[in-house]
Amino acid sequence: MALGPRLDLRQTQSLVMTPQLQQAIKLLALSNLEIETFIGEALEANPLLELGEAGPAPAAEAIEAPEEIRRTSLESSPVDQLIGEGRAADDRPLDIDGAALDRDRDTGDGERGIGEAAADWGGEFRTGDGAEGPGIDERGGSGPTLSQHLESQLGTAGGDRRAQTIARLIIGQLDEAGYFPLSLREFAAELGLPPADAERALALVQSLEPTGVGARTLAECIALQAQEADRYDPAMARLIDNLDLIAKGEFARLKRMCGVDDEDFADMLAELRGYDPKPGLRFGGGETALVTPDILVSARADGGWDIALNQATLPRLVVNRAYYVELRGACDDKASKGWLSERLADANWLVKALDQRQKTILKVATEIVRQQEGFFRHGVSQLKPLTLRTVAEAIAMHESTVSRVTSNKYLQCERGTFELKYFFTSGVAAADGEGAVSAEAVKAAIRTLIDAEDPKAILSDDALVDLLKDKGFDLARRTVAKYREAIGLGSSVQRRRQKALAAVR
């Protein structure tokens, strides 16, 4: 076989992310307040950009009243003309197919592979992305701090007075995520306590709700939650002890160490994703931070909805073309003219990208209102199960685009201010076997039943199952217990003690 140089022609396809495409993806995920900061930086970097007077950025979307109010169907409302038809290609909402760009996205559908599920454990940890947002009753107003919540449980958590006193000292040292950041031995020595007493007090703190508080490391926090869920078997213990290997993507090595196959390993990773790595963040630090809405939803007189961006937090960016002409006339060399042309192109693109971002947000928000109209009219009991994929298919966009749009965005309506992720909830089967109901609706029903229970006849989880079935929710006892704990309500034994103490006081 002869060896020698030769020329070959080959045709290949590749996806190249230009800096502008990367910036467009970034803009989608920013809130209006973050956009303000971004625009401030752009104004400093580009002399051709300036703030214009607040104007009607894109036109607000409108959903007409449903048939029973206006005798015209929702499908024939002006929304279809506003957001889907007859638009020039350059004027369409921004949709970026993230399949090749963002393999670690969470679609809200619960369908993620091993690599995707593990990706969340390789970066910043977060709780379920849109699966089940905080309850409607957990929003707005000041709630108990983490310390207050934990100390309120000490009276019924067991332990002698000495252990409870030390536990209160430990609670005072927890950081905002619920971790105990000190060396327990040094903590005990500083207070002149036997190490065994400090260990018992820490164990008492770790027995409180939410599970995982008082942990000294991430692995210990996750292990506590796995033990609570009765999932802390030897394989899971080895996986939790080697979280660093998940971050490195060494899945084959982890499977060998845990002695499990691909299916079991995927289940274990999915289980890990369900645990909260920062359980203390469920509680405030006293004063509740004010949330500025990005989207405003208001009811119309005819029963429809007006959906608009909050112009108060959305600066309007314009290109100063007169200044460009002035600078252009003063440029007498090729390099200066090239630099000025680049600034003009960047300015034009940024203005266009921001306009596309606004149209995309309005398009997604309009579909959310359409899908969850029962919530806006009747409250959380009418919240339906909804996934990112459902919205993406309805508006002909990629679900990764919807995911970015709904990140860090808040919607204000007459029922309050809600994160857009709140409207994406998992579903549970209805008792009649037809369709499904939102997990948030189930939580609201559980809270209503418990709030109304007789202090002398506390409802057990089995009793809650029967009462919920009468309301149309077909749930297992274990599921009821999970939802009850998720909204911060104790077991029947704990509630009986709490209500007995309240009656004495």
What is the structure's pLDDT at 439? 74
What is the structure's pLDDT at 362? 92
**Domains, the chain, ordered by start:** 51-88+291-422 (no CATH), 143-282 (no CATH), 426-504 (1.10.10.60)
Q: Please check whether residue 254 is in contact with residue 242, taking contact to mean a CB–CB distance below 8 angstroms.
A: yes
DSSP secondary structure string for all residues of 278-343: -GGGGSB-SSPPP---SEEEEE-TTS-EEEEE-GGG-PEEEE-HHHHHHHHHH--SHHHHHHHHHH
pLDDT by position in tens, the chain (length 505): 567 788 888 887 765 567 777 777 788 888 877 888 888 888 888 898 888 765 554 555 666 655 443 332 333 333 333 333 333 334 455 554 443 333 333 333 333 333 433 433 433 333 333 333 444 444 444 567 888 888 888 777 666 778 888 888 888 888 888 888 888 888 888 778 888 888 988 888 888 888 888 889 898 998 998 888 878 888 888 888 888 888 777 888 888 888 888 888 888 888 888 888 888 888 765 444 567 888 999 998 888 899 998 888 777 888 888 888 888 888 888 888 899 899 999 999 998 988 888 999 999 999 999 999 988 988 877 788 888 889 999 998 888 888 888 888 899 998 888 888 888 876 665 555 555 667 777 888 888 888 888 888 888 888 888 888 887 777 788 888 888 887 888 888 888 877 776 665 5
Nearest of 296, 320, 321, 322 to residue 307 by alpha carbon = 296
Strand-strand pairing, 427-429 and 436-438: antiparallel
Query: How far is the C-alpha of 271 from the C-alpha of 265, rounded, in Å?
Result: 10
CB count within 10 Å of CB 92 equals: 15
Peptide bond into 210 cis (omega under 30): yes
Query: How far is the C-alpha of 375 from the C-alpha of 364, rounded, in Å?
Result: 17
Q: Please check whether residue 206 is in contact with residue 214, taking contact to mean a CB–CB distance below 8 angstroms.
A: yes
477-486 and 461-470 are packed helices; what angle lies between their axes, rounded to 10 degrees? 100
